[in-house]
Amino acid sequence: METANLPALAEFSDAALAAFFAEVRAMFDREAAQAATPAATEALRVRWVGRKQGLLQQVSELVKRAPAEARKDVGQRFNALKREIEPRCEEFATAGPAHASQKLSAVPLDVTLPGIRPALGAEHPLIRTMNEIVGIFQRMGYSVGIGPEVESDYYNFEALNFPPNHPARDTQDTLVVAGQEHRPARDRLLLRTHTSPVQIRTMESQPPPLRIVIPGKVHRNDAADATHSPVFHQVEGLCVDKNITFSDLKGTLDHAMKELFGSSVKTRFFPSFFPFTEPSADVQISCIFCGGRGCRKCKNSGWIELLGCGMVHPAVFEAVRGRQPEYDPENISGFAFGMGVDRIAMMQHGIGDIGLLYSGDCRFLESFV
């Protein structure tokens, strides 16, 4: 590459300035034509537009030394030179010399070569299991409902027949939003402990008959261990209509468990207690690992407890009658159920620690691709 310095400029007449700037342009063109490698093009850029010692910086010094009557003409000529050289230097830096791009374009394009397949992600095992459960109930005619994760005490507890200071609240200890002491207790905000508040909101906005399944994230103040997490997921369901019985509940859940775990799975119900259902029951399924014979997974009982359910308590219907008078417990009935998605996902995929589902470890998640 040519390394000549700038031409001399002895005077600032029109003829002298025209000759000077024409020679500077010619010098740049010669050096640009000789820049044949990426290193050379980068050197060209630094030599001409470098901030401290670039040749354009030296030309700008001439503008400062020009007499007052010629300064305007010198400035215009310099700006025109700068607008011509700077873009070309940047073009060289990004695209390389012109002959190199021409050589690249001369390479034939084979359109029959396979393309580069982008790496596709996969559903998280929790999302996959949740979608599977929701799909089962959608095929039975249930619609899907969603609601806020930050709820009021009224929707999370009071409307679901959890009176203030009721012992049942202790099992659903949760995280409360700070700085709400000035609010009435029923209006204070918290992170929902179950997706049941969506049942109340749905009944307030829709008259019966109603069939809805509610997936979502919930929060409880639980210590993290292999089977517990302060954040987990639930799928709940609600069915309200005339003449709904416990037999309808049993038939619905038995069908759902067979869809989820296979037609050989059996279900059985045990009495339990939930404030928002009466009667209430815990549901067990025959162990999917040993077929009911007894193993370590089922503690040699042959059964695994999986979800809770029951007939909707009349007090829950009374809580929504103010907005929907059709929910008269004398005329309608319904059932509700809820299951933990995390536990079912762990059973399906043989996961021993719930913490793995929330670790974000790509090595673990890639095993589900």
Q: What is the pLDDT of residues 11-64, one digit of tens each?
A: 888 888 888 888 888 888 888 888 878 788 888 888 888 777 778 888 887 777
Q: What is the pLDDT of residues 143-157, one digit of tens each?
A: 999 999 999 999 999
- Band of residue 321 on the pLDDT scale cut at 50, 70, 90: very high
* Residue 190 confidence (pLDDT) above 60: yes
* Residue 135 confidence (pLDDT) above 50: yes
Distance (Å) of CA 112 to CA 107, 109, 118, 119, 352: 15, 9, 18, 21, 47
DSSP 346: H
In this predicted model, which residue has the larger pLDDT, 77 or 259?
259
- The neighbouring-strand residues paired with 191 are 150
* Residue 314 confidence (pLDDT) above 90: yes
The confidence score (pLDDT) of residue 336 equals 97
Cβ atoms 21, 77 nearer than 8 A? yes
DSSP sequence for 141-171: T-EE----SEEEHHHHTGGGT--TT-GGGGG
- Band of residue 94 on the pLDDT scale cut at 50, 70, 90: low
In this predicted model, which residue has the larger pLDDT, 62 or 184?
184
Average pLDDT over all residues of the chain: 86
The confidence score (pLDDT) of residue 169 equals 76
Angle, vertex CA 93, rays to CA 92 and CA 99, nearest 5: 35
d(CA 118, CA 123): 16
The confidence score (pLDDT) of residue 22 equals 86
What CATH number has the domain spanning 125-368? 3.30.930.10
- Band of residue 194 on the pLDDT scale cut at 50, 70, 90: very high
Give the CA-trace dihedral at 134, 139, 143, 145, to 10 degrees. 0
Mean pLDDT of 272-290: 93
Q: Is-above-0.75 flag for pTM?
A: no
